Amino acid sequence: MVRYADIMSDSIVDGPGIRVVAFLQGCPRICEGCHNPSLLPIEGGIEVTENELAKMLLKKLTAKHAGLSFSGGDPLMQPEALYKVISFIRNRRPDVNIWLYSGYTFEEVKDLPVMSLIDVLVDGPFILKEKDISLVFKGSRNQRIIDVPNSLATGQIAEILTKKYAANI
């Protein structure tokens, strides 16, 4: 089972292009200035099977979408469930671009099985003192946008420069 709070069909701030975003419920952090404080309690949201959530997301993905993003809360509060959701999606749409937003750092989560299924990790907790509204796809300067397949393959963190996306915004 997986707990989610909402699904957005047309986000332009959670990765490049128009994206479907699943907001998963629960977060262990209580970051000052949290963007989604109602998603902090793990008991909240709607509980469904992993396959049900995956089917809902696949149904929303159309030709206009550049990909799928998982946000929260923190999706990695439910790593096993998230792995099942993304596996289901990858089996049906192996080409879909998947981003994951997490307060955990890449170093903390790189060995989780779900990491092998995602394209990009936006990592690190939101830090209010580091907030910068000019940043693309992240809320505070400490956060990184990481090319996960490249980082896993080389053992070195490969950050993605957001300048290449700026023209699309």
- pLDDT, one tens digit per residue, over 117-132 is 999 999 999 999 999 9
CA angle 41, 141, 78 (to 5 degrees): 30
Tens of pLDDT, residue by residue over 31-68, are 888 889 889 999 999 999 999 999 999 999 999 999 99
**95: phi then psi, degrees, rounded to nearest 5:** -85, -10
| 91: CATH | 3.20.20.70
Please give the model's pTM, rounded to 2 decimal places.
Answer: 0.94
pLDDT of residue 168: 46
Q: How many domains does the chain have?
A: 1
Domain housing 124: 2-166
**Cα dihedral 60, 61, 63, 66 in deg (nearest 10):** 130
pLDDT of residue 163: 61
Distance CA 10, CA 19 (A): 6
